[in-house]
Amino acid sequence: MPLINFATKEINCKIVYYGPGLSGKTANIKWIYDHIRPENKGELITLATETERTLFFDFVPIEVATVKGFKVRFHLYTTPGQIIYKISRKLILKGVDGIVFVADSQEERHDANLDTLDDMLNNMKELGIKFEETPLVFQYNKRDLPNILPVEVLRKDLNRWNYPDFEAIAIRGVGVIETFKEITKLVVQKLKK
């Protein structure tokens, strides 16, 4: 649910990058952060645990038109992927306006993708977030590695609802901006309704 600041005439939208541990959520956020003009972004904040990191930053994109006279500010978050951080993932998901599900394309990580998707759906349900009304984009990351699953399998198993999806190699920026532009477009379209 976007937060509207009438004093600054800004609409603050939360986009969460959700996926299993080491799927490329952090690589996505860092790539985006490194390629946004400095004057349009806030500080990159890293909350580190022993085995995971959660990243956060906010920015005002110059290419997004205002919505009813308000500037749109996006707050980007990653979730920790490991199972022991279930409560953290749920807290980060609270108040979400758009989700990028980052899947690891490697065959041996497919069960982790499925478990994490189930976790996301359960958390959304518990938080009262209507899945069918939430802008969502799927990203199939690590397409440059050996023994990856075909995109058709990933689509069938993960993206059963036919949301927009992209292939990516996040550490090199392949598919990162395309994924990001799609989720921000979907969030702004929902705002304009």
- Per-residue pLDDT tens, the chain, 193 aa: give them: 788 888 988 898 999 999 998 999 989 998 998 998 888 888 888 776 666 666 676 655 555 657 888 888 898 998 887 666 788 889 899 999 999 999 999 999 999 999 999 999 999 999 999 999 999 999 999 999 999 999 999 999 999 999 999 999 999 999 999 999 999 999 999 998 8
Stated length of the chain = 193
- Pairing assessment for the beta strands 53-59 and 71-78 based on DSSP bridges: antiparallel
**Whole-angstrom distance, CA of residue 25 vs CA of residue 22:** 7
d(CA 82, CA 116): 9
* Residue type present at position 68: K
User: Which phi and psi (to 5°) does residue 107 adopt?
Assistant: -55, -40
CA 68 to chain centre: 25
Question: Tokens 């490697």 appear where?
Answer: 106
Say how many CA atoms lie within 13 Å of 86 toward its Cβ: 11
